[in-house]
Amino acid sequence: MTAAKQISVHEAEINLLAEYFETRRIEDVLELSAARYSPKLVMTSNFGVEGVVLLDHLMRLAPETPVIYLNTGFQFSETDEVKERLRDRYKFQLIEARSVLTVEEQAKIYGERLYETNSDLCCRIRKVEPLQRALAGFDGWLAALRRDQSPTRAAIKVVEWNERHQLAKIHPLAKWTRSDVWSYIVKHNLPYNRLYDDGYTSIGCWPCTRRVGAGETERSGRWAGSRKQECGIHV
């Protein structure tokens, strides 16, 4: 007989909460998350439009929540620009997570274009490992993923146990559509990354992000020409 998997009290609680969270509004999800996890609640964002919507709600409901930003050294200047505009507007506590290797050190060890020769390793060095360190000590992680962004995200729950980081991962925008997000941005006149006005529909590091043509899917400009669809921090 195979032994049943032992789950922690924390994980068991999240499994119970999952069904409840599924039917709640974003405000309820954030209030409950803050009540349960603050001050060990954190949001991550690269300040795409979904992140802006989540941040706008979070700063009204739990403004003490810090925000982790993965500074890979390969971000677009437009991304840094919107990050600063959002900081001015909301005054949130920013945690910039960086790799232990600078871009120059990485180039000396692995070559100038690791993002082309081994993008999984590059993402591991510049995103996955820095995030692992930044999330240490937190119990709740807010991320602005939507189910309709891509097939890789279609099964995310509003709240789920994250085995890798041993915490609750919360997706308050899981049920939102792209159109919902843009309607909210326009209605509230919120800042957004200027690259969205220049043909980009999903924005990551500049070497691995391109504009999207008519008829292409939302995340098809990420790692275009390869089979890679995710950097490894979410799925």
- Give CA–CA dist 196/108, Å, rounded: 33
Q: Is residue 219 within the footprint of ligand SF4 (CB under 6 A)?
A: no
Catalytic residue among 122, 205, 208, 231: 231
Considering only the stretches 19-27, 86-94, 122-130, 134-142, report the one whose residues sit in contact with ligand SF4 under the rule CB under 6 A.
122-130
| Residue found under tokens 């957004």 | 192
> Residue 28: CA atoms inside 13 Å, Cβ hemisphere, count?
9
Among 45, 72, 162, 201, binds ligand SF4 (CB under 6 A): 72
CA separation, residue 214 to residues 42, 129, 141, 147, 183 (Å): 36, 35, 34, 21, 21
Q: Are 114 and 195 in contact (CB under 8 A)?
A: no
Residue 207 engages ligand SF4 in binding (rule: CB under 6 A): yes
Contact 57, 153 (CB under 8 A): no
- Tell whether residue 122 is a contact of ligand SF4 (CB under 6 A): yes
Is residue 74 involved in binding ligand SF4 (CB under 6 A)?
A: yes
* Minimal distance, residue 144 CB to ligand SF4, in Å: 18
Residues that bind ligand SF4 (CB under 6 A): 72, 74, 115, 119, 122-123, 126-127, 204-205, 207-208, 231
- Enumerate the active-site residues: 231
